Structure 1
Amino acid sequence: MIELKNVYKSFTRKGTTIDALKGIDLKVEKGDIFGVIGYSGAGKSTLIRLVNYLERPTKGQVMVAGRDLGTYNDKELRTAKKNIGMIFQHFNLLESKKVFDNVAIPLVLLKKNKNEIRQRVMELLEFVGLSDKAGSYPSELSGGQKQRVGIARALASNPSILLCDEATSALDPQTTHSILQLLKKINAEYNITVMIITHEMSVIQEICNKVAVMEEGRIIEQGSVLDVFGSPKHLTTQNFVKTVIQNSMTSSVRKSIKTEPGSQLYKLNFVGASASEPILFEMIRSCDIKVNILFANTTEIQETTLGTVIIQFDGEAAEINNALSFLTRNGVGVEEVESNVFDHSNR
């Protein structure tokens, strides 16, 4: 549905060139709710503006529905962009126009007749829960209601792609949740592919099925949300995940760890069915080692349980290896914890 191939984007201002995107490769499948996350300045907003060609790449290809947007002439590009809706952080509503007229703007530009416009606008206002606000002005609405108007407007031309640029960052947590659930409903009922730009990992956790993590104009990690949350590889990704999932020991626990020769620490990742099976119990029964559970936590992502356990093994190397083999055979992800977590004064 959306594919970026080796995309670069540079801006030149006052003789200085800034490389906003550096070799981006990204693929969004039809039906995805795809999240792109990064800190301020990572390049994520530039990336999403390339998808609807508000910006053109300096180098590389932006493919939508199998065709490079750079190959379109102006008329073809205008037609193609009607298939891409966009909602913004600050709503971008016309304050002088009523809610009905704000939603109707894309249809007026498409020169639809009045009856068709009225039917479509009222249908969308009903869908987003604002059928009673058609005659109101934006100044009379809450932030969440304004964003719902923005969403209705973005859906007016029946797009197959919906782009969301920090669409919830100006909203309180409860309103954010309601907007995210609306986006999830749009994806499910209208079969619209959704691409979300955000700096909030909780947004990714709540509705996305795939995620790409950006830093300094590059994608440093991407994959299914379960894989990225369950086993983040890059430090930046790990820091984002920590904002929504407690998956590491507290400093007080680290300081209390006592180690003996043959003692080793591992992080165990349980996903789905493995999180509810007595795997650790069976491992302890079958292996001659001492086990100390230092940390454990579970969370739910995409209706799948994700569990993290940090465990200390004491025993012979061969028995520890047997235990690790048992865990991996039963679908448990195993990572050795670096030795620098130990407080060596306890040795």
Structure 2
Amino acid sequence: MIELKNIYKTFKKKDAEVQALKNISLKVEKGDIFGVIGFSGAGKSTLIRLVNLLERPTSGEVIVNGDSLLSLTDKQLRTAKKQIGMVFQHFHLLESKSVFDNIAIPLILQKSKKGDIRKRVIELLEFVGLADKEKAYPSELSGGQKQRVGIARALATNPSVLLCDEATSALDPQTTMSILQLLKKINQEYNITIMIITHEMAVIQEICNKVAVMEQGEIIEQGNVLQVFSKPSHPTTRSFVKTIVQKELPLSMKGKLSHTSGSKIIRLEFLGSEMTQSFLYELVNRFEVKPAILFANMVEIQENIVSTMTISLTGKEEQLVLACLYLKEQGIQVEEVSA
């Protein structure tokens, strides 16, 4: 559906060159909601603007719907771009035009019939929940409503791909959630592939099934969202995941921890919530140890529960070792925590 191959992008600034993207390769499958996350300056916006050639790569290949966009004629590229909708962070609505007219712009530009334009715009207004705002102007709308207009406009030409450039970062948390639910609805009901860039891991958690993490113009980690959340390998990815999956003990508790002879403090990570009671029960019954829960956290990701727990284990050294081996055999990640 979308494939970027060995992409480099260099910007020239006066006498210097800035390499914004370095050897980027990724593939977005049909039906994906693919998230790209990174801190400011990581190259996210440049990356997504390559997909519809708002920015052209210095080198590499951009493939969308089987077409290598850089090899197309101008006429062929215009046709290909009709299959790529884009939603912007700051809405980009024309203040002098009504909601209806803003949504109709792409259809007017492709010279659709007036009857077809009206039918499509009314359909989209209903779909995005703005059926009563047809004659309103952008100045009369809230931020969330403006973004819904922007989304409707991006959908006007029935694209197969929807690009979202920080589509929720200018919105409050409640409105952000409603926009994310709308994007999920678009993906499911219209079967539109979505690529969304963000600096918020909560956005990735809520709707994405795959994610790529960027830093300094490079992709440092990518894969299934559940895999990346549960086993992040790069320090930057781990820092993002920490904003959602809380693993560390609160500072107020850390200062009170102490290791005594015959005790261990361990951090456990595992999928699922139902096994919690089971493995604690097994520890007590199989080994001469006493577990005590110090901290626990559960997060739902793609209908899976990612659980983290810090416990203290008290008992004889050989029993503590056996208990930790047992936990690892159950597929639980075990890490000893220093006081």
TM-score by length of 2: 0.93
Query: Post-superposition shift, 1:264?
Result: 4.4
Query: Post-superposition shift, 1:96?
Result: 1.3
Task: State how far apart, in whole Å, the 1-side matches of 2:289 and 2:225 are.
Answer: 34
- 2:133 is aligned with what amino acid? K
1:276/1:124 Cα in 2 relative to 1: closer, same or farther (>3 Å)?
A: farther
Conserved 8 A contact 1:298-1:305: yes
Tell me which residue corresponds to 1:28.
28
1:52/1:262 Cα in 2 relative to 1: closer, same or farther (>3 Å)?
A: farther
Task: State how far apart, in whole Å, the 1-side matches of 2:66 and 2:317 are.
Answer: 53
- 1:285 is aligned with what amino acid? N
Task: State how far apart, in whole Å, the 1-side matches of 2:67 and 2:47 are.
Answer: 17
- 2:124 is aligned with what amino acid? L
Query: Post-superposition shift, 1:303?
Result: 2.3
Correspondence list, 1:1-347, <5 A: 1-260=1-260, 264-272=264-272, 275=275, 278-314=278-314, 319-332=319-332, 334-337=333-336, 339=338, 342=339
| Secondary structure of residue in 1 paired with 2:248 | coil
Conserved 8 A contact 1:42-1:217: yes
Q: Give the number of aligned pairs.
A: 339
| Secondary structure of residue in 1 paired with 2:168 | coil
Query: Post-superposition shift, 1:270?
Result: 2.1
1:317/1:219 Cα in 2 relative to 1: closer, same or farther (>3 Å)?
A: farther
1:71/1:335 Cα in 2 relative to 1: closer, same or farther (>3 Å)?
A: farther
Task: State how far apart, in whole Å, the 2-side matches of 1:53 and 1:317 are.
Answer: 62
Question: Comparing 319-328 with 239-248, which one deviates more in the overlay?
Answer: 319-328
- 1:78 is aligned with what amino acid? R
1:91/1:263 Cα in 2 relative to 1: closer, same or farther (>3 Å)?
A: same
- For residues 282-329 of structure 1, the C-alpha deviation after alignment (integer angstroms, 9 at most, x for no partner) is 133223444343321112222222210123445566544543443343
- 2:32 is aligned with what amino acid? D
Query: Post-superposition shift, 1:33?
Result: 1.1
| Secondary structure of residue in 1 paired with 2:20 | strand
Task: State how far apart, in whole Å, the 2-side matches of 1:161 and 1:337 are.
Answer: 46
1:327/1:310 Cα in 2 relative to 1: closer, same or farther (>3 Å)?
A: same
Conserved 8 A contact 1:275-1:305: no
Task: State how far apart, in whole Å, the 2-side matches of 1:268 and 1:338 are.
Answer: 10
Segments of structure 1 that go 5 or more residues without pairing to the other structure are 343-347
Conserved 8 A contact 1:231-1:269: no
For the aligned residue pairs, the C-alpha RMSD in angstroms reads 2.0
- 1:9 is aligned with what amino acid? K
- 1:68 is aligned with what amino acid? S
Conserved 8 A contact 1:275-1:307: no
| Secondary structure of residue in 1 paired with 2:8 | strand
Conserved 8 A contact 2:268-2:309: yes
1:264/1:216 Cα in 2 relative to 1: closer, same or farther (>3 Å)?
A: farther
1:317/1:160 Cα in 2 relative to 1: closer, same or farther (>3 Å)?
A: farther
Question: Comparing 38-47 with 65-74, which one deviates more in the overlay?
Answer: 65-74
| Secondary structure of residue in 2 paired with 1:256 | coil
Task: State how far apart, in whole Å, the 2-side matches of 1:219 and 1:267 are.
Answer: 29
1:222/1:287 Cα in 2 relative to 1: closer, same or farther (>3 Å)?
A: farther
- 2:82 is aligned with what amino acid? K
1:338/1:310 Cα in 2 relative to 1: closer, same or farther (>3 Å)?
A: closer
- 1:231 is aligned with what amino acid? K
Identity of aligned pairs, percent?
63
1:243/1:110 Cα in 2 relative to 1: closer, same or farther (>3 Å)?
A: same
Task: State how far apart, in whole Å, the 2-side matches of 1:66 and 1:207 are.
Answer: 25
Task: State how far apart, in whole Å, the 1-side matches of 2:82 and 2:334 are.
Answer: 47
Conserved 8 A contact 1:267-1:311: yes
Segments of structure 2 that go 5 or more residues without pairing to the other structure are none
Question: Comparing 41-50 with 271-280, which one deviates more in the overlay?
Answer: 271-280
| Secondary structure of residue in 2 paired with 1:108 | helix
Conserved 8 A contact 2:210-2:223: yes
Question: Comparing 100-109 with 291-300, which one deviates more in the overlay?
Answer: 291-300
Task: State how far apart, in whole Å, the 1-side matches of 2:319 and 2:12 are.
Answer: 61
- For residues 245-276 of structure 1, the C-alpha deviation after alignment (integer angstroms, 9 at most, x for no partner) is 32211123222222246754432222136556
1:317/1:162 Cα in 2 relative to 1: closer, same or farther (>3 Å)?
A: farther
Task: State how far apart, in whole Å, the 2-side matches of 1:6 and 1:30 are.
Answer: 21
TM-score by length of 1: 0.91
Query: Post-superposition shift, 1:150?
Result: 0.4
